[in-house]
Amino acid sequence: MPYIPHTPEEVAQMLSVIGADSIDELFDEIPKELRNDGLDSIPARQSEMAIQRILSEKGLLDGTPMCFAGGGAYEHHIPAAVWEIATRGEFYSAYTPYQAEASQGTLQVIYEFQSMIASLTAMDVSNASLYDGASGLAEAVLMAIRANRKVKSKRILMPASVSPVYRQVVETIVKNQGISLELIDLDSDSGTIDREKLTAQTEAFSALVIPQPNYLGCMEEVHELTDWAHEQGALVIGLVNPTALALLEAPGNWGKAGADIAVGEGQPLGVPLASGGPYVGFMACKQKLVRQLPGRIVGRTVDLDGKPGFSLTLQAREQHIRRSKATSNICTNQGLMATAATLYMAFMGTNGLQKVAASSVANTQRLMALMEKIPSVSLPFGKQVFHEFVLALDVDADTVLERLAQEDILGGINISRNYDSVSGHKNLLLICVTETKTEADLKFFAATLGDIVKAIKEGE
């Protein structure tokens, strides 16, 4: 019996201790009319070897295309040691560290994770992680509304330069609490927040979300935006990419006072693409907001002998203590992914992460230079980007992506439906380049895309 170690003799002994004739008798409190053992549409059991073959075939079917898609999920090199260590049984098969003395490994890793995230974002404190960047942004919005006691508004300013799907997730999670998300338009020249329209806002709001770099790869004027929001009595939520923070100014240092909350997707820190999850959201804030922070938090303390140790702390915020008055319904964090992210940052160090970021920027600049030379293709928002840029085409973007897929290239994300009204272009691709690409990869991609565009135009 798979994973069940009992011998028939042991089962008989156990039943005799219980005083039951059969295992089935143990279910005698379930009303008979409810009993239903139908599992017909579940296949019969197969061996590990047979299942390995099935899964290998599924993997081959999807292939391993050359990836130029980003949009919130980024292909980076993951040092081999990261997952060798993270999947050790002692990390992989442990649970939330409720018994601190028996969980010092996990607890110290999370304390180190919190310290690294706080350093990346230049914030005072971080939590132990959240499900992902999108739901993390929703939690940041809820937190900002709880925390902003100066402006008692349930209004949040949400720029169009924030990922469209992040905006949808926030909407789903906060809409039942009477919170309104005010969309701030995109400036179609720069691909950033339309600051004229933003500053024309007169109604009170609790917080402004500032993405850096934004969904289109462009860089927001974070200092100016932060100061303006603070002057309005609002809080600032910085939505940031952790790789970019190796080079770009950290939210804690934006403007005169710094952003109040930093949140983002930690996937670029050693977590595989894996079709979109499990990833790891991170959230950090200023010390004065720590009691409004959702999720698990680990603190350093001492034991009976005065020896340093770690435990979950500030649990009075959480659902298992506060129930209906908790800061969030969150129970688990993303412990294993946070462990991998900690390992990644420890292996990379300051210098390694800077190199990953710089190499991604350099490759992106190289690809943009190659793309610019292709006729009937343009860069509507310019070249001041981090590792993503928008490419405007005068042919159908879906057709281009489809033909690139035939050449085993994942050529980017079609964002035309989300941004057509602002850019004046009907066909927009969001393209990402990280450190994983070589000069040859970039040339191959640009040449293939050039050929496809040409062929489509000639076929018209």
Q: Which of 10, 231, 420, 439 binds another protein (CB under 8 A)?
A: 10
- Cβ nearer to another protein, comparing 121 with 206: 121
248 binds another protein (CB under 8 A): yes
CB of 281 to another protein, least distance (A): 10
Q: Which of 152, 196, 203, 351 binds another protein (CB under 8 A)?
A: 351
Instruction: Judge contact between 336 and 131, C-beta under 8 A.
Output: no
Report DSSP letters for 16-31, one per residue.
HHHT-SSSGGGGTTS-
Instruction: Judge contact between 319 and 329, C-beta under 8 A.
Output: yes
- Cβ nearer to another protein, comparing 139 with 194: 139
The contact pattern for another protein, residues 421-440, with x = CB under 8 A and - = no contact, is --------------x-----
Query: DSSP letter at 275?
Result: G
Structure tokens, 274: 């894996």
For the chain, how big is the Rg over CA atoms in Å? 26
206 binds another protein (CB under 8 A): no
Structure tokens, 248: 């770009």
Q: Which amino acid, 256?
A: K
- Cβ nearer to another protein, comparing 22 with 202: 22
Instruction: Judge contact between 455 and 410, C-beta under 8 A.
Output: no
- Cβ nearer to another protein, comparing 362 with 455: 362
Q: At 128, is the secondary structure helix, strand, or coil?
A: coil
168 binds another protein (CB under 8 A): yes
8 binds another protein (CB under 8 A): no
The contact pattern for another protein, residues 71-110, with x = CB under 8 A and - = no contact, is xxx-x-x-x-x-x-x-xxxxxxxxxxxxxxxxxxxx-xxx
Integer Cα distance of 147 and 141 in angstroms:
10
247 binds another protein (CB under 8 A): yes
**Span 384-403, contacts to another protein by CB under 8 A:** 384, 386, 401-402
Q: Which range, of 18-26, 152-160, 200-208, 442-450, touches another protein by CB under 8 A?
A: 18-26
Integer Cα distance of 431 and 415 in angstroms:
10
451 binds another protein (CB under 8 A): no
H helix or E strand, kind and range, residue 448: helix 439-459
